[in-house]
Chains A and B, each alone.
Chain A
Amino acid sequence: MINPFRLPEEQERIPDPAILVIFGVTGDLARRKLMPALYNLARENLLPARFAVVGFARSDWDDQKLRSEMRKAVEVFSRTPLIGPVWEDFAQHLYYFKSHYDDVEGFRRLATCLQELDAQYNIPGNRLHYVATPPVVFESIIRNLGIAGLNQPASPEGWVRIVIEKPFGTDLESAKRLNARVNEVFHEEQVFRIDHYLGKETVQNLLAFRFANSIYEPLWNQKYIDHVQITVAESVGVEARAGFYDQTGALRDMVQNHMMQLLSLMAMEPPVALEADAVRDEKVKVLRAIKRLTPPDVPKVVVRGQYGPGAINGQPVPGYRQEPGVAPNSTTETYVAMKLEIDNWRWAGVPFYLRTGKRLPKKISEIAVYFRSPPQLLFEGQLEHGFTTNVLAIQIQPNEGISLTFNAKIPGSEMRIRPVVMDFRYGSSFGMSTPEAYERLLLDAWQGDATLFIRADEVEESWRLLTPVLETWAQMPPPDFPNYPAGTWGPSEADVLLALDGRRWRRL
């Protein structure tokens, strides 16, 4: 029965009744992100009336404990204040299931539990599994879901999907192995690999900016663009993630996923439709077209760094090796800068410079597109200090927005030229607050829209590119760590990387 109170275009955005199973519900991700996101979806009436959330973990909790712990988490981490009666109504849908991730019998009992909830809530067997655990148990969970039959819908009209958090492997081989394990149990269209960067409004706006405007696309190629800089800078250190981060490093933590996603969205061809596979096909093409790095290339085009003691916002901060939980001789990189080239008609000869790091002076993520200089500099004698080529900067966080730098005449009788900025800020044009990335992505997965999720071949292509870097680094431990003080823009080698091409990093 179609709901007459919805217009036809609204019908498809109604999530089906379903059970969400969160593996690792006692962990940080569930407390900080998933449960606040679910609460806000419920608060905004975006969840279906018939749903249940089953939290799966090893701790000795029960339904009441889960509800009280999650209430505390929502009170602290939700973007909106908790409303008592709404929480109470939402919390009635929360259930706890205790088991070990490698216990097959536990998963069989889970299947029975879900069937009982299906009956209780009149849910037609729809399941959304969310793997929010450390990666070490990914494979056990996936295997046991298969053995317990939880990879199949519980009814002919039902569906089953699985959301997997990064990291998707630690190199090409491990990513292939994980994908193979996942695809032994689930069809690829059931799998939603989440990169929360794709849930950010400005990242989605990249598609709108490029393909809803006709003025940029003709310029979006090697004929007019000189180079591109992608920066994901953090001012924080490793915080409570030292154990994870020291095994991971900046390349795996940021470049392989977030930065490759930004690069592919920025450089992709127009998709034939705004559909999951059409968009992802184009992203994969970009990743495939990136010039492969060989071991001799790596030292020439990739710079790694690690922060030493320094200061952020005037406050002294320790170096990476002095952080709690980090080995005093750690060689883990906290900074990466690299130069990539995309070998296709659109981008041949246009370098893409990427940089990311911890303990940099400020938190900022942006894509800066540097246009070529005019073919003839008519005003060369009139240029004021600071003259620049046109730069289109797409800022992802904070202060989401887009700015265009162009050169203008300074008023007066003389012809003097100086760069000025034309600015669009989301906050100043659309003042409304936007949902957290996890809210958008959870809802998309619930509704089966995979556009903002990563496909297996994207993961593998990205690792195929970066694994030679990891292998080369493994052969050549860094001699000079730490090589940048906290609170600076990274090691001087990163500046040299651009200076060799006659360029420099954008001042942020």
Chain B
Amino acid sequence: MSQPSSPFLVQEPRPIPPDEVATELAHLWQEMTASLGGLMLRARALTFVAFTADPDRRGELQEMLVAVSQDHPSRAILLVAREGEEPELETWASIQCLRPPDGEENPAICTEQVIIEATPSALDRVTSLVLALTVPDIPVVVWWVGDPTPRQSPFEALFQLADLFILDATSFRAPFRSIRHEARLKARGGRRTVVTDLAWHFLAEWREHVAQLFDAPEWAAHLPDVRRVRVEFSSPPNTNLIVAPAFFMAGWIASRLKWQPVSAHPLRGQATYELSFEAMSGPATVNIRPVKAATHGPGELITVELETRDPVPLHFRLSRVDRTQCIDVIVEQDMTTLFHHVAAWQSLTLPEHLTRVILYTRRDRAFAETLRTLAPLAEELAEPGESSS
């Protein structure tokens, strides 16, 4: 349908008084229309609000919003909480146009970006500005970057505003405490505010490969006998440990197999965990552990293996060891390979993931069940020192 378009005209964000953002945007549109000779299309498919409490990420997030707007033209609002005093509230506005995908004769697709920086004392008020800038009738997507902080502004206001509320568990500083919060939010949001997580979407391809392996009835027949699961994730040297995707994978497998959570505890240090469950016919465990894998980013899954309790266990292994574009799907028993399939692996960038997340604003039942399964285990693993506020 369309080749990816590329930004070719990005205005430098222009500082403007907060109460004049809408007026200034109208001026900017007039200027852009004049400079492009009318060959432009003002496109808005959603209002996209991103929040960060880390001012160092402002530039990166600005670029991310531009990238996402190539697929989801939007009024993008970047809300940055920063320390300091005066001025309490600063705003900038800009318009960027994307080269039309099908040649010069088509209009450029132009979208808006508003940046708001607020000090803690202004965060209460900032939501009124966001509300004023929300485009009527089209979905509002909120991307909350960092740990959820339900008791602090502007979290609750943005949560109430959103049709789709995106978290990213790979960026949580207190992952288990925040996943517990996330489970509550997911339940509270229901169908009105769909809560989702980029870390969950990073696993979409993994989940599809696992599911596809067990589309074969002869393998699915062994699933009631699975008692042990191993999830390995990448931990390159000198990077922070990111355990959330592996934790989500463990929760997804357990919830799909109807295992009930029992307990969770770290093993041999904080990065290795054993989760205990009660399956229909006995105890089951999931081991999560980091491995050194230079070709994969921190937190990426490397191996998922399910093992049955048979006298000669069956091993269902999905592995990306030494693979970048592919995944090996293997079934083994007693060192004999019964099935081996090499499937394609599509590596996506963060903006590409965001783009896909935004496409699906329906309630995700599998994620809700995963979070429900993980919530009590996250509670146990949350350390007293973990703070999400």
Contact = CB atoms under 8 A, between A and B. Distances in A.
A5 interface: yes
Contacts of B102: 398-399, 427
Interface in A74-126: 83, 85-86, 88-89, 122
A321 to B, nearest CB: 32
Given A83-B344, A398-B102, A432-B359, A49 B1 contact: no
A4 B41 contact: no
B341 A44 contact: no
B4 interface: yes
A428 B223 CA distance: 43
Nearest to B365: A7
A432 B68 CA distance: 11
Contacts of A14: 215
A357 B221 CA distance: 56
A432 B109 CA distance: 15
A431 B4 contact: yes
A171 interface: no
Interface string B230-266: 0000000000000000000000000011100000000
A85 B70 CA distance: 32
B108 to A, nearest CB: 10
Nearest to B212: A45
B325 interface: yes
B213 interface: yes
B226 to A, nearest CB: 10
A1 B343 contact: no
Contact of A1 (B2, B5, B217, B359): B217
A48 B218 CA distance: 13
Interface stretch (B118-126, B183-191, B202-210): B202-210
Interface string A1-32: 11111110010001001000000000000000
A430 interface: yes
A3 B326 contact: no
Given A4-B257, A431-B70, A423 B41 contact: yes
B187 to A, nearest CB: 18
B2 A427 contact: yes
A340 to B, nearest CB: 30
A44 B45 CA distance: 27
Contacts of B3: 433
Contact of B72 (A1, A2, A48, A431): A431
Contact of B355 (A17, A83, A431): A431
B152 interface: no
B350 interface: no
Contact of A4 (B4, B209, B223): B223
Interface string A416-439: 000000010111111111100000
Contacts of A43: 344
B214 interface: yes
B71 interface: yes
Interface residues of A, number: 38
Given A45-B212, A429-B45, A5 B207 contact: yes
Contacts of A5: 207, 210-211, 214, 256
Contacts of B356: 432
B216 interface: yes
B344 A429 contact: no
B272 interface: no
A201 interface: yes
A83 B45 contact: no
A206 to B, nearest CB: 15
Contacts of A122: 218
Contacts of A430: 1, 71, 359
Contact of A431 (B71, B217, B325, B366): B71
A89 B355 contact: no
A41 B2 CA distance: 19
Nearest to B216: A49
A176 interface: no
B342 interface: yes
A85 B359 contact: no
A49 B341 contact: yes
A6 B109 contact: no
A372 interface: no
B355 A45 contact: no
A196 interface: no
Contacts of A458: none
Interface of B: 1-5, 41, 43, 45, 70-73, 101-102, 106-107, 109, 207-218, 220-221, 223, 256-258, 325-326, 339, 341-344, 355-356, 359, 365-366
9 contacts: A7-B365, A42-B344, A45-B212, A88-B342, A89-B342, A398-B102, A399-B102, A425-B109, A432-B356
Given A1-B217, A6-B215, A429-B43, 9 more contacts: A5-B211, A7-B366, A49-B341, A85-B326, A201-B1, A398-B102, A429-B45, A431-B4, A432-B359
Interface of A: 1-7, 10, 14, 17, 42-45, 48-50, 83, 85-86, 88-89, 122, 201, 398-400, 423, 425-434
Which 4 A-B residue pairings sit nearest by Cβ, starting from the closest?
Answer: A431-B71, A427-B2, A5-B211, A89-B342
